Amino acid sequence: MVIVKRKELTLAERLYLPEILRGLSITLRKMFVKRATRQYPEEPLVTTEVTRGQPRLAVNTDGTVRCVSCGMCEAACPAYAITIDGHETERPIEREPERFEIDMLRCILCGFCEEACPKEAIWMSDELELADYTRGALVYDLEKLKRPVSALQPRIDYIKKINDRWRTSSSTS
Ligand code: SF4
Ligand code: SF4
């Protein structure tokens, strides 16, 4: 039979005082460290032109949508979130969407639609918040997706700058 001789605990150790003091010192130190958490929604997220929020459709200053209902974004969408039905118009642009829906619950904010669009009609906005009471309300229709070009301009300028950089580097290589 092996007899294990244990160290005799002091009174402080029996009262867990070292652990309590260590815990309190950690709490005290952390109280003065800069907070990493945000008091949302009172402190909303800071967004910039780089923010890839929910996709929105650009509307020209004359009120017409830029979209010509070509379906490129619908085909590029990996989440099958976009549904488009187009119709003919009397305008020189010939086609526009009759139905344009994005299921925001499916959208993964990948930005493929923005990249695929040949008409600069769909852009990733800086809108990130998404909340409603039904799933159906989160399928955004044409009216919910429309935004004036001016509201999307910072993103448009940013993407054009990025694309110009690639054009410059490919022409010099
Ligand atoms: S951001 Fe991506 S997932 Fe969302 S609609 Fe566009 S292509 Fe689809
Ligand atoms: S790719 Fe652009 S123009 Fe074509 S359907 Fe989508 S938003 Fe409209």
- Within a domain: 154: yes
Per-residue pLDDT of the chain (173 residues; tens, 9 = 90+): 788 888 899 999 999 999 999 999 999 999 999 888 889 889 988 999 999 999 999 999 999 999 999 999 999 999 999 999 999 988 877 899 999 999 999 999 999 999 999 999 999 999 999 999 999 999 999 999 999 999 999 999 999 999 888 776 655 55
What pTM did the predictor assign? Answer: 0.79
- DSSP element (H, E) containing 51: none
DSSP 35: P
Count of CB atoms within 10 A of residue 100's CB? 26
What pLDDT is stored for residue 171 in this prediction? 55
- Within a domain: 22: no
- Within a domain: 49: no
Count: domains in the chain = 1
- Within a domain: 160: yes
Distance 160 CA to ligand 1 centre (A): 19
Distance 100 CA to ligand 2 centre (A): 9
What pLDDT is stored for residue 145 in this prediction? 98
d(CA 107, CA 110): 8
- Within a domain: 105: yes
Return the ligand number nearest the Cα of 101: 1
Distance 119 CA to ligand 2 centre (A): 7
Which residue blocks in the chain are alpha helix, DSSP H? 11-14, 17-31, 72-76, 112-116, 142-145, 149-172
CA distances from 16 to 21, 25, 30 (A): 9, 14, 21
- Within a domain: 4: no
Domain of 124?
Answer: 55-168
CB 69 near ligand 2, within 6 Å: yes
Distance 108 CA to ligand 1 centre (A): 6
Return the ligand number nearest the Cα of 130: 1
- Please, which contacts does 95-98 make with residues 24 or more away whose CB atoms are closer than 8 Å? 95/68, 95/69, 95/70, 96/64, 96/65, 96/67, 96/68, 96/69, 97/65, 97/67, 97/69, 97/142, 98/69
What pLDDT is stored for residue 169 in this prediction? 60
- Within a domain: 2: no
What pLDDT is stored for residue 94 in this prediction? 80
User: Which CATH number is 59's domain given?
Assistant: 3.30.70.3270
